[in-house]
Amino acid sequence: MEGFFSPEIIWCFLGIVMLLVEFMCPGFVILFFGIGALAVALICMFAPIGINMQIIIFLIASLIALFSLRKWLKNVFKGFTTNKDKMQKNIDSYVGESAKVVEEIKGNSAGRIEFHGTNWNAVSSTDIPKGTTVVIEEQNNLTFKVKPYN
């Protein structure tokens, strides 16, 4: 039972808990205190240090990680949109636009179309072979209803 309550186990457990809490309520702050706790656990594995020194190392390691990595990690995990101007907010604006069939559409099963550089599920009341240009009639969630382009 003594080994379970050793400082390196306690600090490691505390660090893992802080990392898990960061996943539940992200903000890129708790993560760095988890890193600090794991750093103390690593040091305690190789050197017997007192609790006061452990707390000082925890605070210093956490603050160094916070101030040196937070801005960089926020940029890494921020995400991006390549072209906001082409994003359309009104689904009905797709009606009447043309697309190309990339997987045959049969009357009783969905096929695939390429529209704005992305493949989408598509249905039609008639069979439409691959390579045909179609017109979008309506959109139902992620599936387009199409007809052959005349």
Domain architecture of the chain: domains with CATH: 3-77 (no CATH), 94-148 (2.40.50.140)
Residue 25 has pLDDT above 90, yes or no: no
Q: What are the tens digits of pLDDT across the range 116-126? A: 888 999 999 88
Residue 47 has a pLDDT of 92
Per-residue model confidence as pLDDT tens digits over 68-98: 987 787 777 766 555 545 545 555 578 889 9
More confident residue, 37 or 109: 37
pLDDT at 83: 54
Looking at the DSSP bridge assignments, the partners of residue 43 are none
> In angstroms, what CA-CA distances link 35 with 61, 82, 114?
8, 33, 45
95-111 pLDDT, tens digit each: 889 999 999 998 778 89
pLDDT tens digits, residue range 125-149?
889 999 999 999 988 888 899 999 8
Q: Is the pLDDT at 1 greater than 70, yes or no? A: no
- Please give the full DSSP string across the chain, using - where no structure is assigned: -TGGGSHHHHHHHHHHHHHHHHHHS-SSSHHHHHHHHHHHHHHHHHS---HHHHHHHHHHHHHHHHHHHHHHHHHHHS---S-GGG--S-GGGGTT-EEEEEE-BBTTB-EEEEETTEEEEEE-SS-B-TT-EEEEEEEETTEEEEEE--
